[in-house]
Chain A
Amino acid sequence: MRWIRQYGIPLLRRLGSSVLTLWLITIVVFAMTNVLPGDVARRILGPFADERAVAALNHQLGTDRPLPEQYIHWLSRLAHGDLGTSLAMRRPVAQLLLPALANSAKLAGSALLVILPLSIFLGLVAAFSEGKALDFLIRLSGLVTTVLPEFVTSIAVILLFAIAIPLFPVTAVAPPHSSLPTQIYYLILPITPVTLVLVGYLCRVMRSSAVEILHTNYIRAAELKGLSRWRLLFWHLLPNALPPVIAVTANQLGYLLGGLVAIEAVFNYPGLGQLLLTAGRQKDFPVLQSGVLLVGLTYVLANTFADLLYWLLNPRLRERG
């Protein structure tokens, strides 16, 4: 019972507010898509199509019906577990979204596996050498890689490691039924620009958080008590310095899943970013809305997970309940 009170109720409350948030997101996305000028059939047929053809296609697609009706239609199908039908591709949204989401998750997951350990390590190294040349070097290079646009770094890594020195493939998609090592091999290049952007950022968060903790009295006391470096690091420093990094990482998940548009474009990687961008351009609101909903859902889940980690890492929160 205590456990339920401690974790269950806050979790439920959180989920409730998340569902509400997601629902509001769908309304905002729907409204924004429809505020844009032009209509769906016009976007499909182009500016030079005959008005009668546009009207006929809008009728076929159902996009000539009142907006609230279209929204309610989409929502009621969603309630039945149906993400709707793409207006441009005229096939089930799930057929388009789920593979794209899986691809994006693969890319984001692999990237995180590199980014997290690397930024924690670099952040700690910088923190321990605070004020020294190494600290300065790590911070400066982090800053440089963060401000470089992904589009530029993507093209640069391709030109270098796929064309000048042909070590890796240009296109990031491994042939179907490839083994895990092959799939990883194909993902190495596209992960690089994401890593460059995020490591610089996360490593600075890690550094400043670690520096702050290193200056606290309890660390000094632990040092004076003669605790080993490793014990100090894993027992006292990391649990207290990690929460901000976790929070920031969770916040980056939306970007990692749906925002890698430039990287997906350059590597021709069939992820969510490109799909949603195209859907936005075409006013294909079932795809856009369901996609945003999926990204939002992942985001909410990730943040809930991050909060759980917070609780686990922070005894004070655990005690308070």
Chain B
Amino acid sequence: MSRDAELRQKLHPIANHLIDEYQAGRLTRREFVRRLSVLGINLSFANFLASACGGGQNAASPTAAVPQTGSPAPQPTLNATPAGAGTPGSVPVVRAAVFMPAGKIDPITIADEGGLCLLSQTGEYLCWADEQLNLRPELATSWQPNDNASVWTFTLRQGVTFHNGKPLRAQDVVATFKRLTDPNSGSNALSAFQGVITPDGIKAKDEYTVVFELQRPFSNFPYLVSSDNYNTIILPEEYDGNYESTFIGTGALKLKEYQPRSKAVFVRNPTYWGKPAIPDMVELRFYEDESARILAFQGREVDVVTHVTASNGQPLFKDSTTQMIEFSSTTHLQVHMRTDTKPFDDRRVRQAIALLLDRPAIINGILLGKADIGNDHPFAPVYPSTDKTVAQRQQDLAKARSLLQAAGYGDGFSIKLVSWRGLAIPDLAAVIQQAAQQVRIRIDIELTDAGTYYGKAVFGESPWLDSTLGITDYGHRGAPDVVLRAALRSDGVWNAAHFKNTTYDRLVDDYAAATDLQRQRQIAKNIEELLLEETPLLITFFERYLIAARRGLSGIEPGAVGHLRLAHARFS
């Protein structure tokens, strides 16, 4: 038997399908590796497969072939200097400026970037979604779907202990996910698990195997149990809600001190299962204000600043002592146009508004080029399933005018745009307002605070969901499923555009059930084309995620959802 055939025999059918796709040239090496990672195949093995099956020149060692239980997961690192330059030597302390956590630190309820950034210092996930959207094994060493991706089996790492010395067992994982899917726990992750899994579907098969029986097929399910769904750090079975006193977890760092509204200090966990933490101490200082974070960095009081915006971070871009870590995210602003209300009940009007916008100018003007272009659908370019052959929508004033003319709005109309004052929203609102003036559409912008805009976040009691025209911010997600469903499906709970289209609904279900990438991409193409035609939403850009770090500091493990792991950071 050839080596190829031998390998294929051991692999899951979906993985074999991916190999076919890769060999046929329909997948790039990077996409191939990323898709394998979703199937629970560790990165070194995935890279080995890429080389073995695709004929790459740097075949990895076959000893890495089988996911090794108990072995440390390969650590993703962003190096400012080539790996190995500089000795790991002692790093006394790494200090980072992060967002002020919004409330009590409780993994169940946390919903803000400041809070979640704390979770991943000491806590770990079944898998870690890195900045390229690869899933890396963390507390799970491997995971397998059944044939239609409705049942997922996760094998846990052995030899892992919590900071209190208690060993990690399947019961802890089951309890963690039952808690998060329990409607009575106040879980912030409930909306992500809604319609996917209930507490009854989570079972321990043995001490180190957890089975998730889903309510429907879901090929991107591993993202829901990864760092991308940040509430899912694995907690002990007996967790009682008092997280703040211990920050209990399994991670490379453990809590030394937490001072609410001030800082959190972490030290090395001597019993960590993987590569030990490099710094003796990691200190996260909390700041309410972004300019304060950047000033503290410029004043050399911190070594890293998390999530810098392009506009505020500008002074750092040219600073020779600073390295900007930059990668694509799926964070975006959605401009919704209510498809059931005049004037947007006519699709031509919605298309016309979309055609007024000069997207490259918006990206350069508002985000100083730090964004990927959007094409009015949630498929960000960074998602592997995005079909990039669908033509990019371009500014076309003449076409916009003729569409409006045909729709009976040749003389324009007046409309109110509502949103909240924050992020790039006021700038985008102003750009839309100016663009609309060219076709005599008068937009009256009304910005409130975020709480007022979102209101009760249910239909009938929320300016967000009730307004005819509005702008809503969507954070990064490792897979597009949640946004595709909640923001656009007929029964979507965030469907501010009130978009109802049975073809779309069916396509989204098909997408979630599609287990191979080629199929996902075909469906994605249909969805992208349908949304371009219907244009319930304007999505003009996907922001890049920026982190500022002192030059020479390497080993930062970020995630676009807001993670900033510093356990393996070091100065060269």
Contact surface of A with B, Cβ cutoff 8 Å:
36-39, 41-54, 56-57, 60, 88-91, 96, 155, 158-159, 162-163, 166, 169-171, 173, 265-268, 270, 274-275, 278, 281-283
Segment with Cβ contacts to A, from B65-73, B181-189, B373-381, B503-511: B181-189
Closest to A168 in B: B299
Known: A37-B461, A90-B103, A283-B451. 7 other contacts (CB 8 A): A37-B451, A44-B102, A52-B184, A54-B186, A60-B186, A158-B295, A163-B298
Q: Is there a chain A Cβ closer than 8 Å to B12's Cβ?
A: no
* B441 interfacial contact with A, CB 8 Å: no
CB within 8 A of A282: which of B102, B190, B194, B462? B102
Provide a sorted-by-A list of 27 A–B residue pairs whose CB atoms are within 8 angstroms.
A37-B451, A37-B461, A38-B455, A42-B454, A42-B456, A43-B451, A46-B111, A46-B112, A47-B464, A47-B494, A50-B493, A53-B183, A57-B109, A57-B186, A89-B260, A89-B261, A90-B103, A90-B104, A90-B106, A96-B261, A155-B295, A159-B295, A265-B291, A268-B285, A274-B288, A278-B102, A278-B288
Given the known inter-chain contacts A42-B456, A53-B185, please indicate yes or no for A266 contacting B292, CB distance below 8 A: yes
| Docked-complex contact A56 and B292, CB < 8 angstroms | no
Instruction: Tell me the residues in window 435-467 of chain B with beta carbons closer than 8 Å to chain A beta carbons.
Output: 449-452, 454-458, 461-462, 464
User: When the two chains form their complex, are residues A45 and B188 in contact, meaning their CB atoms are under 8 A apart?
Assistant: yes
A166 touches B299 (CB 8 A): yes
A56 with B183, Cβ < 8 A, contacts A42-B457, A282-B102, A282-B103 known: yes
Given contacts A37-B451, A282-B103, contact A49 B111 (CB under 8 A): yes
- A51 to B191 alpha-carbon distance, docked (Å): 8
Do residues A270 and B261 form an inter-chain contact, with CB atoms below 8 A? yes
Contact with A along B268-311 (1 / 0, CB 8 A): 00000000000000000101110110011011110000000000
Closest chain B residue to A162, Cβ basis: B299
B392 within 8 A of partner (CB): no
- A111→B6 CA distance, assembly (Å): 77
Tell me if B262 counts as interface (CB < 8 A to partner A): yes
Residues in B with CB closer than 8 Å to A155 are: 291, 295
Given A44-B111, A46-B188, A278-B288: A268 and B296 within 8 A (CB)?
yes
Inter-chain contacts of A274 with B (CB < 8 A)? 288
Pick the residue among A47, A171, A275 that contacts B261 (CB under 8 A): A275
Chain B contacts for A51, CB-based, 8 A: 457-458, 493
Check B289–A38 contact: CB distance below 8 A.
no
Question: Judging by beta carbons under 8 Å apart, are B191 and A38 in contact?
Answer: no
Q: Contact: B295 with A52, CB < 8 Å?
A: no
**When the two chains form their complex, are residues B451 and A91 in contact, meaning their CB atoms are under 8 A apart?**
no
Query: A38's contact among B184, B451, B494, by CB below 8 Å, is which?
Result: B451
| B292 / chain A contacts, CB cutoff of 8 Å | 170, 265-268
Report the separation of the CA atoms of residues A229 and B299 in the bound assembly, to the nearest whole angstrom.
Answer: 48
Please, which residues of chain A bring their CB within 8 A of the CB of B260?
89, 91, 96
Which of B179-208 touch A at CB < 8 Å?
A: 183-188, 190-191, 194
Q: Are A265 and B103 in contact (CB under 8 A)?
A: no
* B461 surroundings in chain A (CB, below 8 A): 37
Q: Which of A39, A50, A60: most chain B Cβ within 10 A?
A: A50
Q: Among the listed A37, A45, A162, A267, which residue makes an inter-chain contact with B186, where contact means beta carbons less than 8 Å apart?
A: A45
Alpha-carbon distance between A283 and B451 when the two chains are bound, in angstroms: 9
Tell me, in angstroms, the Cα distance from A141 to B158 when the chains sit together: 70
Q: Which B245-271 residues have C-beta < 8 A from chain A?
A: 260-262
How far, in Å, is B198 (CB) from chain A's closest CB?
12
Per-residue interface assignment for chain B, residues 295 to 332, with 1 indicating a CB less than 8 Å from any chain A CB and 0 otherwise: 11011110000000000000000000000000000000
| Distance between Cα atoms of A158 and B289 in the complex (Å) | 15
Contacts known (A47-B464, A90-B103, A155-B291); A171 close to B301, Cβ less than 8 A: yes
The 3 closest A-B pairs by CB, nearest first: A57-B186, A170-B299, A88-B103
CB neighbours (8 Å) of A162 from chain B are 295, 299
